[in-house]
Amino acid sequence: MFISSAFAQTAPAAAAEGGLMGSLTGMLPLVLMFVVLYFIMIRPQMKRQKEHRAMIDALAKGDEVATAGGLLGKVAGISEGYIQLEIASGVQVQVQRSAVSQVLPKGTVK
């Protein structure tokens, strides 16, 4: 009716010619969003994890630390996955090494 039969027959051929370029152009925004997401979110998170792992591996007896739960104390002993944390004179608790959130400067915990 509105479209001539000759034009209707050439439409699929025209779509097939630009099909590869059209699909690449359609995927470009998705690829760009992934690249931006990687540099804004994934890469900095991996860097923080690497720094935290290095800090935990460098823990030594006598270091003053703060845990994720808010405990402050001195490292009294170290085992494979746990540390003995002296939170008061004569009071020691056992916490996971991964629970240590930061190493404090000497003299912070009294």
pTM comes to: 0.66
pLDDT at site 2? 64
Q: Give the bridge partners for 102, in sequence order.
A: 66
Please state, in angstroms and as integers, the Cα–Cα distance from residue 102 to each residue in 8, 33, 56, 89, 96, following that order. 70, 34, 9, 21, 13
Q: Rounded CA gap, 105 and 2, in Å?
A: 81
Q: Rounded CA gap, 47 and 106, in Å?
A: 26
Query: What are the structural domain ranges in the chain?
Result: 5-54, 61-104
pLDDT at site 93? 97
pLDDT at site 21? 77
pLDDT at site 96? 95
pLDDT tens, the chain, 110 aa long: 566 665 556 555 555 556 677 777 888 999 999 999 999 999 999 999 999 999 999 999 999 999 999 999 999 999 999 999 999 999 999 999 999 999 999 988 87
pLDDT at site 53? 95
Q: Rounded CA gap, 98 and 110, in Å?
A: 23
Which of 108, 103, 104, 99 shows the shortest CA–CA distance to 68? 99
Fold of 61-104: SH3 type barrels. (2.30.30)
